[in-house]
Amino acid sequence: MSAPFRVALSGDFRKPDGSPVYPDFDLAPLMNTPGVEMEFLEPANPIRAEQVENFDALILLMPRFGRESIHPDGRLAVVARFGVGYDTVDIEACTQAGIALCITPDGVRRPVAVAILTLMLALTGKLMVKDRLTREAAAGFARRGEHMGVGLVGRTLASIGVGNIGAELFRLARPLGMRMIACDPYVDPRFVAELGVELMGLEEAFREADVLSVNVPLNDETRHLVNAGRLALMKPTAYFINTSRGPVVDQKALTRVLHERKIAGAGLDVLQDEPPDPDDPILRLDNVLLTPHALCWTDQCFAGNGAADVRAVLDVWHGREPRGLVNKEVLATEAWRRRGRRNS
């Protein structure tokens, strides 16, 4: 009989009492597949090499997976990130070692696009201030005319990045009757045109937007892509939304712009530091709507991410190219063939 295919889950998937943190992540396909074994790791950040040495697959939530997480003689063949951000994974080290890195675009596409829409509708509809006014009863009702919302028909929605999430945002926003613009130097312009979106340069998008949403990965090129100079191009009536990664934005510059009311407001699901320092001045602004990197967290999002990770892991077990593979070049390496062969 061949050795079991061993799947590890990072320790943050389990509560101290042993129960799952996210019950919507259905582990039954792993637990019920003959020949597959599943185990939660002890919490550690970063993942330590000896923790995963004897596993074939790792399903990874928050901890870092760096060069130090890879055992040179280990059998780990796939790291399946729960989500699509992989700035916590040393992809070069994975590729060199013959380890596939997979992500879950199918799981997050709709939930994050809906989260962006939620922020856009809440900001332009003045949802939070109207909630407060209502709780003030007569005094609040008396001031409701001071907080007129912004209608969206004919207004301009911009996305920096038209990938998995940016494109879905435009699909969902289409019935709102907005003009849709984007900046993405790497996307196929025909794909963007088919979405009904006008491509343009970065600065132009900042200038034109009534609502500007950032949907790029965090990397050396995009770190502080949103800086003081670009924020200064925005209309004083415009709203800024970031659900991508905090460090894509120079948060000090954004805080200043919001404090000086140079733009109308912002919706931020991600921050420079998470969790933020309790003294961070951005927490005290009344024109920013904040969510704890969790606005997209729904039962369906977690079920979808989990199902995608399980599929990727089982793909590797069956000797197939895993779905959601990021480092496709790994498939051509001798190191992958060695690890892959062990699992097929």
> Coil, strand or helix: which one is 65?
strand
When asked if residue 215 is in the footprint of ligand NAD (CB under 6 A), the reply is yes
When asked if residue 190 is in the footprint of ligand NAD (CB under 6 A), the reply is no
Question: What are the tokens at 197?
Answer: 């979106």
- φ, ψ for residue 278 (rounded to 5)? -60, -20
Q: Pick the closer one to ligand NAD by CB: 98 or 105.
A: 105
In the complex, least distance from residue 186 CB atom to ligand NAD, rounded to whole angstroms: 3
With CB under 6 A, what is the number of residues at the site for ligand NAD?
A: 32
Window of 5-13, 57-65, 154-162, 173-181 that interacts with ligand NAD by CB under 6 A: 154-162
Question: Which of 85, 47, 42, 81 shows the shortest CA–CA distance to 67?
Answer: 47
Partnered with residue 198 across adjacent β-strands are: 181
Q: Pick the closer one to ligand NAD by CB: 10 or 215.
A: 215
Catalytic, out of 68, 274, 321, 329: 274
Partnered with residue 60 across adjacent β-strands are: 81
In this structure, what DSSP letter does residue 82 have? S
Which position among 36, 61, 79, 84 is part of the footprint of ligand NAD (CB under 6 A)?
Answer: 84
DSSP string across 49-113? HHHHTT-SEEEESSS-B-GGG--TT----EEEESSS--TTB-HHHHHHHT-EEE--HHHHHHHHH
Contact by Cβ (8 Å): 169, 160: no
In the complex, least distance from residue 165 CB atom to ligand NAD, rounded to whole angstroms: 3
Catalytic, out of 81, 155, 245, 311: 245
Question: Which of 64, 108, 59, 95 shows the shortest CA–CA distance to 79?
Answer: 59
Catalytic, out of 14, 223, 293, 337: 293
Q: Pick the closer one to ligand NAD by CB: 56 or 269.
A: 269
Q: Pick the closer one to ligand NAD by CB: 58 or 112.
A: 112
Tell me which residues touch ligand NAD (CB under 6 A). Answer: 83-85, 105, 108, 112, 160-166, 183-187, 215-218, 221-222, 225, 243-245, 269-270, 293, 296
Report, as residue numbers or ranges, the catalytic residues.
245, 274, 293
